[in-house]
Amino acid sequence: MKRIPCTGCSLLCDDIIVRTDGIYIDEIVGACLKGKERFDLVSSKNRITSPMIKENGSLISVPLEKAVENALKIIKSASKPLLYGFSNSSCEAQSAGITLARLLDAFIDSNSMICQGKTLKEASNSGIIFTTLSEVINKADLLILWGFNAAESIPRLLNKTLFSRGKFRMTGREIKTLIIVDPVKTASFGVMGVRDLSLMITPGMDLALIKTLKEECCSENSIPNEGVAGLDQDDLKRLLLNLREAENGVVFLGQGILRDPKGDQILKEILELIELINQKQQKGRISIIMGSGHYNMNGFDQVALSIAGRNRNLQFNNHELKESDETIVTKIHNADFDCSIIVGTDPISHLPQELSSKLASRPIILIDNKNTPTAHLADVIFPTSITGIESEGLAFRLDNVPVNLKRIVNPPNNLPSDKELLEMLINRLGGN
């Protein structure tokens, strides 16, 4: 039996026990359904286990060398390559991706750019404090899920934080208050207790709610009698009271905020509200945690910051980082690329149709281990080992704590890791 971290989501639970003979995984103990699905990928029918190229409109299996030849042909004839993905790869692969982008004078970004990377950027601009899960377990008395369906996106998060006992929270759940702000009654509402507060706001009214809370922070009794954003006056006062009185509160910022068309503005306003409350707080503080999805979404931000000094949107020119306001969205929208190298993600499914069809109109080189709509449209596919099961590496948990991922079984056909594959392309292109 071995104890390993799970890479099913960004919680990277490090208490999963597996029984394995190094070839098969016989038993998994402690993983949620989502985690179990991740381990099941090892023997999934949806797995790609040999390199493929597109010939006469169909994908065919080929030896690795033939796939490399085709990929190099595409890369060498391109002048504006695009590299994208990397949230499901180790930090070592992310670093190799940035090296490749520098070598090719390419643009590189991760899924984080259209997700929690926005939170990191806003939070670092405003100076808000990120906290860690250990702090939440040991000290938190208030947990707020804002646009964040923790129960389904990070299934064991509430077990570990809300229902746990901590060094200074020995009474556990009884002393912790949960507040959920969401326009949709998600599965997370199912864990609400009598002292908790469920705030189902009118869709699209987050900004009005935050504005009112900020006003009330500065001058009492500014909440209108009829309430705001579908919430009544008493509930809003209870929300503010909890924020002001918490010894150690944490706001989990979720995808619901980022998916809103005004997501950037909402994020900025929430962070300003927290800052305002912290200035007025007498006895405690409020901090934040990003509700990242993919297991190493935070890793790309950390790696890019340490290598390039920016956490996203890296454009290289003459092998140097160039100042640019471009994003993956503007690059694809303006068709400002001539091929793409996609790593561990499925943009054809995730991006809006206008962008995914533009992405598909140029050659795609895909590095991934499963069959997806992006795989169906790719020109070259390099299957790789599953990081955290078939290859090791480093990943950053949702609270930015580094976790070492382990290899417990051998990959089929000796598949390389994302990092090894990217390094091979770098070598073949004359890089170091």
| Contact residues for ligand SF4, defined by CB under 6 A | 6, 8-9, 11-13, 31-32, 34-35, 154-156
Please state the closest distance from residue 70 (CB atom) to ligand SF4, in A. 35
Tell me which residue has its CB nearest to ligand SF4.
Answer: 8
User: What's the closest the beta carbon of residue 10 comes to ligand SF4, in angstroms?
Assistant: 7
Q: Which is nearer to ligand SF4, 26 or 234 (CB)?
A: 26
Q: Is the C-alpha dihedral spanning 307, 310, 314, 320 positive or negative? A: negative
Smaller CB distance to ligand SF4: residue 98 or 157?
157
Cβ-based nearer residue to ligand SF4, 74 or 389: 389
What is the distance between the alpha carbons of residues 117 and 396, in angstroms, rounded to a whole number? Answer: 13
CB of 6 to ligand SF4, least distance (A): 3
Q: How far apart are CA 105 and CA 81, in angstroms?
A: 8
Q: DSSP labels for 5-47?
A: ---SSTT--S-EEEEE-SS-EEEEES--HHHHHHHHGGG-TTB
Pair of tokens at residue 184: 């949709």
CB of 390 to ligand SF4, least distance (A): 16
H or E segment at 137?
A: helix 133-139
To ligand SF4, the closest distance from the beta carbon of 135 in angstroms equals 19
State which residue, 102 or 294, has the beta carbon closest to ligand SF4.
Answer: 294
- Whose Cβ is closer to ligand SF4: residue 156's or residue 312's? 156
What is the Cα–Cα distance from 33 to 163, expressed in whole angstroms? Answer: 19
Nearest residue to 85 (alpha-carbon basis) of 74, 63, 100: 100
CB 369, min distance to ligand SF4, A: 17
- Residue 34 or 165: the one with the smaller Cβ distance to ligand SF4 is 34
CA 429, CA 418: separation in Å to the nearest integer? 17
Q: How far apart are CA 151 and CA 165, in angstroms?
A: 19
Residue placing its CB nearer to ligand SF4 in the complex, 356 or 369: 369
* Minimum CB distance to ligand SF4 smaller for 187 or for 241: 187
Q: At residue 365, what are phi and psi to the nearest 5 degrees? A: -105, 120
Work out how close the CB of 13 gets to ligand SF4 at its nearest, in angstroms, rounded to a whole number. Answer: 3
Compute the least distance from the CB of residue 33 to ligand SF4, in Å: 8
Cα–Cα distance, 365 to 33 (Å, whole number):
31
Strand, helix or coil for residue 167: coil
What residues are paired with 250 via a beta bridge?
143, 287
What is the end-to-end Cα distance of the chain in Å, rounded?
A: 39
